[in-house]
């Protein structure tokens, strides 16, 4: 049976992961309006990843005998100034998610739940990868500036991203 304080912290994080899915879905809709199909694809993959992250925690909490308590999901932002603005927000959001997973790890350490700590290590490693991926797109967008041809080339590159269901250990 999972510690009550840790159960509560997992439920908070599950909500944050579903919010991430919702936020990226909103960004996907923004890119649909701009007709940037590669960016749409990138966000679609991100939506799927965030859902997988949330469901991984959902399943883990159930497996440990905890009670999942789903809460309302906050309404996400729906408009941005530019693709660059979107990805600056994505990086800020991913850094926030990293901090909240670290806080969840702190609770697991506090209650000395080594199984939860082991489980959360996968998420921390995933966040390093997430921030790096976003940082790479962001660096390219900064280089591009206002060059619409370069933006379309990046759009084609982003169309190649595919979703691979994570194996959360």
Structure tokens at 169: 């250990």
Q: Residue 140's pLDDT band (boundaries 50, 70, 90)?
A: very high
Please tell me the pTM assigned to this model: 0.96
Measured between alpha carbons, how far is 39 from 43 in angstroms, rounded to an integer?
6
Percent over 70 (pLDDT), the chain: 100
Measured between alpha carbons, how far is 105 from 6 in angstroms, rounded to an integer?
9
Does the structure show a pLDDT above 90 at 52?
A: yes
Percent over 90 (pLDDT), the chain: 98
4-158 placed in CATH 1.20.1260.10: yes
Q: What are the extents of the domains in the chain?
A: 4-158
Does the structure show a pLDDT above 90 at 8?
A: yes
Q: Which runs of consecutive H residues, i.e. helices, occur in 64-113? A: 83-110
Task: Output the CA–CA distances (angstroms, integers) from residue 43 to 72, 76, 137, 153, 160, in the order listed.
Answer: 22, 14, 12, 17, 12
Q: Residue 134's pLDDT band (boundaries 50, 70, 90)?
A: very high
Q: Residue 169's pLDDT band (boundaries 50, 70, 90)?
A: confident
- Region 137-146: mean pLDDT is 98
């Amino acid at each position: 049976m999972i510690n009550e304080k840790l159960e509560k912290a997992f439920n908070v994080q599950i909500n944050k992961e579903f919010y991430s899915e919702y936020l990226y879905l909103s960004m996907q809709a923004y890119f649909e309006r701009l007709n940037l199909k590669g960016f749409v694809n990138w966000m679609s993959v991100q939506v799927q990843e965030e859902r997988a992250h949330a469901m991984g925690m959902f399943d883990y909490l159930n497996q440990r005998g905890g009670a999942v308590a789903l809460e309302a999901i906050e309404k996400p932002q729906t408009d941005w100034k530019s693709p660059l603005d979107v990805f600056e927000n994505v990086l800020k959001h991913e850094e926030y998610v990293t901090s909240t997973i670290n806080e969840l790890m702190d609770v697991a350490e506090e209650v000395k739940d080594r199984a939860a700590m082991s489980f959360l290590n996968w998420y921390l490693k995933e966040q390093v990868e997430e921030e790096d991926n976003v940082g790479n797109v962001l660096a390219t967008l900064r280089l591009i500036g206002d060059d619409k041809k370069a933006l379309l080339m990046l759009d084609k590159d982003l169309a190649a991203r595919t979703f691979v269901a994570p194996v959360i250990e």
